[in-house]
Amino acid sequence: MKYCSKCKKLYFDYADARCPSCGRKLIENPNHFSPVYIVTANGFELERIRAALDSAGIPYSYQNEKRETGIRILNSAPPENCEVFVPVSAYSDAVDILVGIGAIGEDKIPEINEGEKEKLNEYEKEAAQAEEELSPGKARLVRILSFIGFLLILAATVYLADFIIAVIKNFFS
C-alpha cells in the first residue's frame, strides 16, 4: 500500500514510486490518521454520505474539488463536487459503508489483496490503541504540560531577543 500526500490517495499493488496523478513520491507507510480520498459527491449524495459516516462513527472531512471554478451563493445548497476524506485507519470500513449505500459503484470498488487488508486492519488497531492510551486525565495532563512548555519556549525567546538587543546596544554605545 502506498500513499500520495498531495492527492491523498491510496494505491494498492502499485509498483511505481511516483503518484500517477501528480508525480509526487509515494509514502510506503502513512500515519493511521492521514486523510485518504474516498469519493467525490455533491448535494443530496454528499448529505447521504455524511449521514452514513456519522452513524457509523467514522471521522471524515470534505472540501471543494480543486478543479471546481463555479460560484456559489451564500446560504445555498452544499458545494458542488466535494471530495470526501477519511483516515487511513477507517478506509476499509468507509468503503464498505459507501458501497452499501450505493455511493461507490461496484465497478469503482478498489481491489485490495489480503496482505493490504491485513495492513489496513493493523492501522485500525493502532488507531484504536492510540485512542485508548490517553484517558481523560492523561489527556488533560498532556494539554497542561504542553501549554507550560509553550509558555517556557515563548519566555526563552523573549529573553533571548532582549539579550541580543542589549548586546547590540552595548556594542554601539
Q: Calculate the average pLDDT of the chain.
A: 80
For 82-146, give the secondary structure using H, E and C.
EEEEEEHHHHHHHHHHHHHCCCCCHHHCCCCCHHHHHHHHHHHHHHHHHHHHCCHHHHHHHHHHH
What was the pLDDT predicted at 42? 81
Instruction: Tell me the per-residue pLDDT of 30-41, one tens digit each, with 9 for 90 and over.
Output: 877 888 888 888
Residue 117 confidence (pLDDT) above 60: yes
What does the alpha-carbon distance between residue 137 and residue 68 come to, in Å, rounded to a whole number?
44
Kindly indicate whether the domain formed by 2-133 is annotated with CATH number 3.40.50.2300: no
pTM: 0.60
Residue 69 confidence (pLDDT) above 70: no
